[in-house]
Structure 1
Amino acid sequence: MREFGTPITLDEMETLGLKAISALPDAFREQLGDVVFAVEDFADAETLRDLGIEDPFELSGVYEGHALIERSIEMSGTLPTRIRLFRRPIIDEWAERGDETLEHLVRHVVIHEIGHHFGLSDEDMHALEDLADLED
């Protein structure tokens, strides 16, 4: 478990993200196929603009591609599906929350972005999270 205040590199955060993916049940992990996973400090200006986000600290991760339920053979030759995490916003959110481990927060962001791969909307995922909170 990482102590608060200890700097984390891009590679270390990538390791945490890949660990979260490897912990998924086989049925989910197998459906990820060729999804590319990357960690960057911040989203680029084009991504922020496309999402209508002005403050780069407001975006901790993004799913880029078509959900499994939207894919067709006609999409061959398109860019690969990607999940990108943004290190600095995640670190800031971790510092603000102060009530969870960095590993837990990275896992949360990774699972959220994987949810988009399966066609879940943000609203669907928030509803599932709320149900999980009720069960705790």
Structure 2
Amino acid sequence: MAGMTRTFGLAPSLDEIETMARAALARLPEPFAGHLDGVLLVIEDFADADTLADLGIADPFELTGLYEGIPVGEKHHASGTMPDRIRLFRAAILDEWIARGDEQLETLVAHVLIHEVGHHFGLSDDDIEALEADA
């Protein structure tokens, strides 16, 4: 980071992170964009204790995002199910952004969002990493 100066002000709010995430969603090409209409986007500071426990994660800073729902290929149009949602965790994203030090926050938010969109389409972490490496 030699020669790089970062000015710190107020941390971006939940609304500002949501604006970045929605902008990233708007840039998604088809067929992805057309399959996201019913997916909720939720921005929170951290994952709740139950979610962390279910995932076996002790440190809330380790979880930047989460997809909750039934992947596109597994849907059977069952009624009574909760809507799919993508949750992004602001404090964990900001912590990772500061640790990286050389990336735009908008880029990191888009990366986390796209990762969770990949899970909506039933892709594994390895599949998503391979796609990102190719992109």
TM-score of the alignment, normalized to the shorter chain, above 0.5? yes
CA contact (8 A) 1:83 1:113 kept: yes
Which residue of structure 2 aligns with residue 93 of structure 1? 96
Matched, 1:38 2:42: yes
Percent identity of paired positions between Structure 1 and Structure 2? 57
Unaligned runs of 5+ in 1: none
Shift of 1:99: 1.4
Which residue of structure 1 aligns with residue 12 of structure 2? 8
Matched, 1:55 2:59: yes
Shift of 1:4: 5.5
How many residues are matched? 129
- Helix, strand or coil: the match of 1:37? strand
Higher relative helix content: 1
Which residue of structure 2 aligns with residue 22 of structure 1? 26
TM-score under structure 2 normalisation? Answer: 0.90
Distance 1:22 1:4, change over 3 A: farther
Counterpart-to-counterpart distance in 2, 1:50 and 1:5: 35
Which residue of structure 2 aligns with residue 108 of structure 1? 111
Counterpart-to-counterpart distance in 2, 1:107 and 1:56: 20
Counterpart-to-counterpart distance in 2, 1:26 and 1:124: 18
CA deviations over 1:71-123 (Å, ceiling 9, x no partner)? 113x3211110000000000000000011100000000000000001110111
Unaligned runs of 5+ in 2: 1-5
Counterpart-to-counterpart distance in 2, 1:58 and 1:101: 19
TM-score under structure 1 normalisation? Answer: 0.90
RMSD: 1.3
Higher mean displacement: 122-131 or 90-99: 122-131
